[in-house]
A = this chain, B = another copy of it.
Amino acid sequence: MAKKRDPADQKPVGFPLATDWRGKVTEFDPRATPGFEGKKADGKKLLAARDSALDELQERLYAAHHGHQEGRSVLLIVQGMDTSGKGGIMRHVVGGVDPQGVDIAAFKAPTPAEKRHDFLWRIRKHTPGPGMIGVFDRSHYEDVLIHRVHGMTDAKEIRSRYAAINAFERELTDAGTVIVKVMLHISRQEQGERLMERLERPDKHWKFDPGDVDERAYWDDYMDAYTRALRATSTARAPWTVVPADRKWYARIAVQQLLLNALTGIDPQWPEADFDVEEQIGRLRATMD
């Protein structure tokens, strides 16, 4: 029997899309575990084991860049169909780092006030400042996904929105933000089962909306809208990753890995003291009894 690979050496990174990708999202298996040879228990162990690495990198990012006019930051954009596990990512991956260094923004249907503005207006208010990890639970991509599926915006305007999104994301990366874009990719079958669980458990009823069932009729249209959006907006600076999400544990270690990669790429260093350490030790000692 071949020796099992050490989970610590594995890189579960989902399916990263090349900038010239012209496939379809439906070509990816929602139950796959790319980059990871292991089962659920191994995945859970890996998530816990890497928590402290993520935590330290986040603290370094904060220490090195927070409070400055300019600096590095990370923006994690999480998209996915209803029940694809966005909340679990927030709780189990993002929740593992110091909450003081994270800004989560959940974008619901826009309010009447928000609708009076360009679709990126409400998004811009939540881009991460230097040293921060920003997280979008849904995002400006809704404006090219649900809008296409339900014809709320015509095809020409959708194309112009792709261009606006790419320009917007280029602004962010120019300013020092590393953008991680994730599609949590579940199967229609799995969604049915997760919705059924919400109906069968009284403590989950509050998460259910009858409209979620209606939306299932548009499944194929949504997959097509994702395919088009991901083709148009997977750029070298802000590439998309399709993360198989029928196994929640896999989606979580994959998003964690993507965040780790983003932070490792920034490689934030503890800042040098801007004071004379020995002198301050002397001053402090003089105040101690």
Question: A-side interface residues toward B, CB under 8 Å?
Answer: 63-64, 87, 90-91, 94-95, 98-100, 102, 104, 106, 137, 189, 192, 195-196, 199-200, 202-203, 205-208, 210, 213, 216-217, 270-273, 275, 277, 280-281, 283-285, 287-289
Contacts and interface: CB of A to CB of B under 8 A. Distances in A.
Nearest to A66: B206
Most B-side CB within 10 Å, residue of A106, A200, A287: A287
Given A137-B100, A271-B206, A281 B63 contact: no
Contacts of A192: 284, 287-288
Contact of A280 (B100, B210, B277): B210
A275 B210 CA distance: 8
Chain A interface main SS type: helix
Contacts of A91: 98-100
Given A270-B205, A288-B192, A213 B280 contact: yes
**Identical chains bound together, number:** 2
A208 B106 CA distance: 34
Nearest to A210: B275
Contacts of A271: 205-206
A270 B205 CA distance: 8
Nearest to A205: B273
